[in-house]
Amino acid sequence: MAVMIDAKLILCENADTAATVMSSVIDLGRNKVLKPLYVDVKLTQGVSAGRVKSVELQTSADKAFTTPITEMVVMVGKTAEQQKHACQLAQFFTAIQPQGRFVRVKITGDTTAPAGGKLWAYLSPDIQVPS
């Protein structure tokens, strides 16, 4: 079964890995999604050095992220060797603060910054499970 992905909910698409990567910002609007949001982060191309250490979901009341709120941090369990290949980095549901109109992810590398890889991240108000 093919799954349709809403392009407006893509946070990163082929973003280069680095010590810190900030995704694009998604505006949930004044009448934002009230249920938990599903976040999916992948390496679509493995890294040649270093590794991704964590994925942090941040929200803000303003698009400039003047005072970002950390909603959730997921520590990535994949080793540097596993991240040399395309792989799933994190999948999680998280609730957001009422003032969290704007959403982004912050992807952080380990002591040796990840290089040579490509990141893809997606936000969804739900997930479909194949039957």
Q: Distance from first CA to last CA of the chain, Å, rounded?
A: 9
> Cα 68 vs. chain centroid, distance in angstroms?
15
Rounded to whole angstroms, the Cα distance separating 115 from 50 reads 6
Model confidence, pTM: 0.89
Rounded to whole angstroms, the Cα distance separating 80 from 40 reads 20
Beta-bridge partners for 111? none
Rounded to whole angstroms, the Cα distance separating 5 from 115 reads 27
Residue 131 is predicted with a pLDDT of: 52
Residue 33 is predicted with a pLDDT of: 57
Per run of 10 residues, the mean pLDDT along the chain (length 131 residues) is 69 96 90 74 97 96 94 94 96 85 95 95 73 52
